[in-house]
Structure 1
Amino acid sequence: MLLATSLSFIIYLVKRRLTFIMFRIDKATSVAVALFAIAGAVPAAAASSEGSSSHPPNLQTITRLTAPLPLRPGEVTNSYHKLPIPPGPIAIYEFKADVVEKDYNGNIVPTPLGDAYLHHHVVLSEHEAYEHQKSWWYPMKPRRANRGVGFGAGTESRGTPQKFHHPYAFTTVEGEDELVANVHVINTRGMPKGDARHCLECPCTSTDVSPSNGTILEAVASRRKDWDRCNVELLDEANTACRPETYYGGLVCCEEGEFCLDGYDPGAAEFDGVKAAGPISTYYLRYTLTYAAATRENRPLYLAACCDASGNETTSGNIEYDIPKLCDEWDSLDDEDGDGDSACVHKLSTIQMLHGTTSFPFGVTLADVDDGGEVDVVYMVGHLHRGGIEITASDPATGEVICKSMPAYGTGDEIGNEKGYINAMSTCQFDPPRRMRTTDPILVTSSYDAREAHTGVMGLFYIAIADVENPVETENNLDKVPAIMQWAGVGAMLAIVAVAGSKYNEQNRRKDYEMVTPTMNVAV
């Protein structure tokens, strides 16, 4: 009885369809049926679609720092770090992060975006419970990490904490006491404005040129596993990010220890000792978790595979793409001819299933659930780079806007309002959640200001979802299954399902880079 009681607590923390990846057992067999019964034994109240409570019990908060990130002017760090967290199982209700440093008195102070540009951080689980996933790889994910807990953002992270309401939370497993983070920061402190903005887009430099033939092609081609990931729309426009022979800036040219411009690289012929004379700056990624002990009432969250605007229903996506210059800087972004589009706005549209082929940068891999299974969408937020106007997710059949995420560009000099930088992204929060099927198509449209060219931009959605639980199954199921089968259920893989969000009122077309409200609550 003690064994069954202990196991039931752990089993309630895992999802319903746990087993077919690990054990490859047909669902029709009695063994699989038993395992599904174990994993699905949650109280009916936990599966309710009623609005969630905003005050889970015994919330606690921790704030910690990564290891130091010492950077010379123009230097890049694109490195991986262990993030200690309270021992699992815990339920994480909020994650936020920003770049900080220590002042002369040793106090921790936030760093302006104009000094240390947070290109992205991606935070994932690396627990042995997900051992069979560790060989899977995709950009912005360490080769030995899995897809359990997942958080991620860029410069917008300071103004856009990822926050979820009880009973929905990202949950950890027994014994899990750390996460792994990919932290990508560019040191632009003391740079002229033009140099700093150029650095933010990771231009290829002499470091990226092959010594054998003097071209970027050979060096860049070897750094990416697969160059056939752009959708038809990008290929038709011959987007320069899709092929190594035309690639000239982005993640591939922004690796650990590189310099963003030759003028700041001591090993480059164009090194400028005057411009690069600044001191080494030591930064940290500060991360804050708001959490509580995991309980049976929790609805564990996962990340949907959708959406990357550079992919489609058969192509996972290139993660990044380039924006060509379409207009002069003094031209208007307005729709002057009334056709619904501006000649100065680059739009990239694609359709992806909620949980289809995408191998997503925030830590999601291919679907592990039945085709067409139902899930609950809890939270959505877009990720754009400088020049981004908006990213939308909509129903391609009806035109219904599920979520529109828009950047808030700063207008001043103070922390949290740095001019010209994305300080926040508007979010879509669904309370009650929006129920979708994993095979539902989503039309994703990413829009960028094309009055100047940009390299390595992104058009991504971060989507947090929860499995739909079976309210008929009860705690009594646990007493009817042998202990060995309960252990099998604990060891099985957590299912991830995909989803999209909810409808809310359209906002006016953005003009230039004005501020927008960083968060929108969506009522269904």
Structure 2
Amino acid sequence: MRKTQLLWLYSLAVWLAVSCEITKTHMLNERMMKSAVYLSPELAMKPGSVFDKYYYNIDFPTGHIGIKSFNAEVVDEAGVPVSLQDTYLHHWVVIRYYQRIGSEHKNLRSVSELSQQTDFIWVKNNGLCQKIGQYFGLGSETRKTATHVPDPYAIEVGNPNEIPHGYEEKWLVNIHAIDTRGVVDRLGCTECRCSLYNVTINEFGEPISPDYVGGLWCCYDQTQCKVKEGFAHSLRRLYLRYTVKWFDWNESLLPVQIYIFDVTDTWKKSNGHHHCKIEYEISPCDSSAMAANECSDTKKISFDMPRGGYVIYGVAHQHSGGTGAALYRKDGRVICSSIPSYGQGSEAGNEAGYIVGMSTCYPDPGSMKIRDGETLVLESNYSASQKHTGVMGLFYILVAEQVPSQNTILVL
């Protein structure tokens, strides 16, 4: 009995010592972490107007760093958060790229144009969709969605060994906002219903198919959603305020890879090609389904994960009407699920009818591993009580190749 007690006391002492060291390490981390708040260029908005521009070489931390979080929101000239009921934040995305030193800045309209420039190299995430290459990005849910990368992990950028000779690392932001003050149909404007925008061609001058009733093709930059007759067209100057937290890179940090999946991906094992449509449409259910309280739309796809690892974070992106999304294994075991929360009021961060946050998952270290080549399933669910256009079903995960050892934790 005495030997057992001594072993128990020894184990307790070791656990307390490690716990104290981890606590001290955490305090040290907080002191070492850096943080900066930036403002985007101005968003000039009037009732019904659409802002959808790309800004290059935005303010961003420099050097070889490990990013711990990236948060953003729309604010006015006084720095006051703006309600989604006035200005709907359709999405914001931040993209990493390399620019040839000494080359001229080019104000391009899209990331596809960026890919065609010899002086610019688009550095994409590890996801399977070529069109969805951003490092960071959310939409209306941005204020109440956690983006923190748990210790000892971080998103590594600025590594001089990875930047091609003669280039430098840069960042750009695309902000898509819709001013809904005084519009005749607020939901219709935010869902980019073509009839409300009175457009027949997309931003590239191509004709829009009559079958396309709503989505990104109809609410591009400088288009105008229908406003109530006589409503005052007051100009408003807004900004995307974004906060970045990071560490200077050191050997105790473990890098993670960003993967973004799209439920509209048409991938088939037979051809291996990933074609992501990004958005899709929800048709309203019939009266019998509504009466039986089964009025929902479920869309799912399967795909093979090219390279596995340990999942340390996950979150979905959906639009109004979304009821949640999940990433799971072929046998049905859930890897990560994400559920939207809807606002109940009118103040910024609690706007009724809008998704104001998405739940996130942080699996215990080492508990959720994806195998190389494993088949995964992505499912996106929406309410079908009414028609929805231009909705999305994206899923972001962060994947690490290794889990932290005790030594890794202690030397942070």
TM over 0.5: yes
Q: 1:409 aligns with which of 326, 337, 342?
A: 342
Q: Which runs of 4+ in 1 moved over 4 A?
A: 137-142, 174-178, 205-209, 220-225, 468-471
Q: Are 1:88 and 2:63 matched, yes or no?
A: yes
Q: 2:310 aligns with which of 368, 376, 390?
A: 376
Contact 1:221 1:244 in 2 (8 A): no
Q: Partners of 1:411 and 1:310 in 2: how far apart?
A: 33
TM-aligned CA deviation for residue 309 of structure 1 = 4.2
Query: Structure 2 matches for 1:92-111, cutoff 5 A?
Result: 92-102=67-77, 107-111=78-82
Cα pair distance change 1:71/1:460, threshold 3 Å: same
Q: Partners of 1:469 and 1:323 in 2: how far apart?
A: 40
TM-score (ref. length: structure 2)? 0.76
Contact 1:91 1:170 in 2 (8 A): yes
Indicate the SS of the match to 1:287. strand
The number of equivalent residue pairs is 347
Contact 2:65 2:158 in 1 (8 A): yes
Q: Partners of 2:36 and 2:169 in 1: how far apart?
A: 13
Q: Partners of 1:90 and 1:287 in 2: how far apart?
A: 17
Contact 1:409 1:419 in 2 (8 A): yes
TM-aligned CA deviation for residue 220 of structure 1 = 4.4
Q: 1:125 aligns with which of 87, 96, 101?
A: 96
TM-aligned CA deviation for residue 128 of structure 1 = 4.2
Q: Partners of 2:86 and 2:267 in 1: how far apart?
A: 36
Contact 1:328 1:452 in 2 (8 A): no
Q: Deviations over 1:174-227 (max 9, x none)?
A: 5766421111100112445xx111100011148665xxxxxx4xx3496689xx
Q: Deviations over 1:264-293 (max 9, x none)?
A: 4xxxxxxx6513x23011111110011111
Indicate the SS of the match to 2:114. coil
| Structure-2 residue corresponding to 1:512 | none
Q: Partners of 1:151 and 1:101 in 2: how far apart?
A: 22
Query: Structure 2 matches for 1:224-243, cutoff 5 A?
Result: none
| Structure-1 residue corresponding to 2:41 | 67
| Structure-2 residue corresponding to 1:246 | 211
Q: Are 1:452 and 2:407 matched, yes or no?
A: no
Q: Are 1:321 and 2:280 matched, yes or no?
A: yes
Cα pair distance change 1:311/1:140, threshold 3 Å: farther
Contact 2:47 2:182 in 1 (8 A): yes
Cα pair distance change 1:451/1:110, threshold 3 Å: same
Q: 1:188 aligns with which of 180, 193, 197?
A: 180
Query: Structure 2 matches for 1:343-382, cutoff 5 A?
Result: 344-355=295-306, 373-382=307-316
Query: Structure 2 matches for 1:362-441, cutoff 5 A?
Result: 373-396=307-330, 398-433=331-366, 434-441=368-375
Contact 1:122 1:151 in 2 (8 A): yes
Cα pair distance change 1:112/1:330, threshold 3 Å: farther
Indicate the SS of the match to 2:336. strand
Contact 1:374 1:468 in 2 (8 A): no
Cα pair distance change 1:310/1:451, threshold 3 Å: farther
| Structure-1 residue corresponding to 2:156 | 171
Q: Deviations over 1:252-271 (max 9, x none)?
A: 11211111x2x34xxxxxxx
Q: Identify which range, 87-96 or 137-146, moves more after superposition.
A: 137-146
Indicate the SS of the match to 1:197. helix
TM-aligned CA deviation for residue 85 of structure 1 = 1.4
| Structure-1 residue corresponding to 2:6 | none
Q: Partners of 2:241 and 2:396 in 1: how far apart?
A: 21
Q: Partners of 1:245 and 1:333 in 2: how far apart?
A: 33
Q: 1:147 aligns with which of 94, 119, 124?
A: 124
Cα pair distance change 1:389/1:224, threshold 3 Å: farther
Structure number having the greater strand percentage:
2
| Structure-1 residue corresponding to 2:247 | 292
Contact 1:76 1:258 in 2 (8 A): yes
TM-aligned CA deviation for residue 146 of structure 1 = 2.3
TM-score (ref. length: structure 1)? 0.60
Indicate the SS of the match to 1:84. coil
Counterpart of 1:247, as a letter, is: Y
Indicate the SS of the match to 2:214. coil
Counterpart of 1:157, as a letter, is: T
Q: Partners of 2:365 and 2:319 in 1: how far apart?
A: 30
TM-aligned CA deviation for residue 71 of structure 1 = 1.2
